[in-house]
């Protein structure tokens, strides 16, 4: 484990085409699965790469963070929130073909994150599938506060606008979120979402 950590820390800072090529060669063998044409840019951090699946032509842009791996809760309290759209399993991050994970995006996959094809996240987006239980946090300590596990599922052709935050739930296909949106409930397909209101994308299409 220390050996891999050392290699990854050395590879992480290599810039340019050589760095990208070396990271691809390394992670192609370390990830759970890795398609063709994957670009892992400078500064990208991946924890538990054996729990990460990348499709073909996926670009992990500079300083994006993928936190994968199932949590061993032991004696800590936690509750599972069902996501009927989620096709994966806890701890796994799966990103579909032709996707771009934007600069500084954080994907926390301890509860499970499944992302479809043609996904884009703008800079600074955050996707969380596990968090502290706010009810227990008010009465307990951070050591025994408890957790909420809520898998994230994102369908095909979704674009998360600048600094969008996803807290569990499902995002339907052909959806765009405006900058600084917070997704705290399921978002249906074909929607422009600003965190409070939903508009059909058809409104923004020209006459056909």
Tell me the C-alpha distance between 77 and 7, whole Å: 36
- pTM, 2 dp: 0.90
The CATH number given to whatever domain includes residue 179 is 2.160.10.10
Whether residue 74 lies inside any domain: the answer is yes
Whether residue 98 lies inside any domain: the answer is yes
Taking the chain (208 residues) in runs of 10, the rounded mean pLDDT of each run is: 89 94 97 98 97 98 97 78 93 98 98 98 97 68 71 98 97 96 94 78 46
What pLDDT score was predicted for residue 83? Answer: 95
Residues 6 or more apart whose CB falls under 8 angstroms from that of 122 comprise 102, 159, 160, 161, 162, 163, 164, 179
Whether residue 36 lies inside any domain: the answer is yes
Domains of the chain: total: 1
């Amino acid at each position: 484990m220390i050996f891999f950590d050392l290699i990854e820390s050395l590879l992480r800072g290599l810039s340019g085409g050589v760095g990208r090529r070396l990271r691809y060669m390394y992670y192609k063998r370390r990830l759970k699965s890795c398609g063709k044409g994957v670009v892992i840019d400078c500064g990208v951090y991946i924890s538990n790469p054996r729990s990460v699946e990348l499709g073909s032509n996926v670009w992990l842009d500079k300083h994006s963070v993928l936190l994968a791996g199932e949590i061993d809760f032991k004696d800590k309290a936690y509750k599972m929130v069902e996501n009927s759209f989620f096709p994966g399993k806890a701890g796994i991050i799966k990103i579909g073909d032709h996707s771009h994970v934007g600069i500084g995006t954080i994907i926390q996959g301890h509860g499970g994150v499944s992302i479809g094809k043609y996904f884009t996240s703008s800079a600074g987006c955050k996707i969380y599938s596990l968090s502290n239980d706010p009810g227990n946090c008010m009465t307990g300590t951070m050591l025994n506060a408890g957790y909420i596990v809520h898998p994230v599922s994102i369908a095909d052709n979704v674009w998360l606008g600048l600094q969008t935050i996803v807290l569990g739930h499902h995002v339907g296909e052909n959806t765009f979120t405006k900058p600084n949106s917070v997704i705290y409930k399921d978002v249906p397909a074909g929607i422009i979402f600003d965190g409070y209101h939903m508009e059909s994308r058809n409104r923004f299409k020209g006459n056909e």
